[in-house]
Structure 1
Amino acid sequence: MTQVRGHWRRNANGTLSWVRAHSRGAAAAGGAGGILLVIGLFVWGGISNSASNDVRQPQVTVTRSPLSPAHAQLVEALRAARQRSGLSLEGAGRRAGVSAKEVSDIETGLLVPTPDDVTGLSNAYQLSPDEWTSLVILQSSVH
């Protein structure tokens, strides 16, 4: 007979049930209590999850306010510069020292870039000093 620590077991329906510490091989030794415990947890886990599946979750719609004109210009300028440079979001992020998600969030207007972000992206896109200056001016006017 082998002593087994408590552990999680995945049920047939994909849910997880906690199985308390027990002895493996208990049924062969005449103690079926461990097996009944496992079967009970399996059935109980299935019943509790099937009941929770009947509960309707409320529909949530997330909206955001439109971008300010300066923010929209900055977003479009940064996206256009990245596309002109031929970089993917991952490549731009790697060169600028930020994540691809951050580049995406900046280009979609979810995140307002810091001056350091604008400088890093400008360097990654190999923009001219005039282009960098116009981006910094746009960034400073975004609220």
Structure 2
Amino acid sequence: MSTRGDVRRRASARSSPSAPKRKRSSRHTSGDEVAAYIHTEEWPAGGTTAATREGWIARLGTRRPYRGRGLATTLLVRTLHARATDGLTSVGLEVGPRNPTAPLTIYLRTNSAVTARLTEYQLTED
């Protein structure tokens, strides 16, 4: 058995194993090239009515030549504001500690907080 440390930030747990009700993507371009992108998904919170919804940041990234310009932070802030306007009650995400781009710093810039630290275990055959 091997262990892998993992840090996850979730405003609330993603509760529905079914397909998300709504998917949205945004991007920042430079000419014809995508420089940064964000993809969000949305579910009814806790499997309840659609009146209470939660979001999930599925993907957020910046292509290497465009890093360090604040593009991911800008996309994230705009997305969080838009989702709040849409009535989402929470937005969550996961961050792996071994990611070389240190994505946790982007989320902390938006006043997000680490709400859970988890360790994942993976059973491997020898």
The answer to whether TM tops 0.5 is no
Which of 1 and 2 has greater Rg? 1
Give the TM-score taking structure 1 as reference length.
0.21
More helix by share: 1
Give the TM-score taking structure 2 as reference length.
0.23
More strand by share: 2
Task: State the structure with bigger RCO (CA 8 A, min sep 6), 1 or 2.
Answer: 2
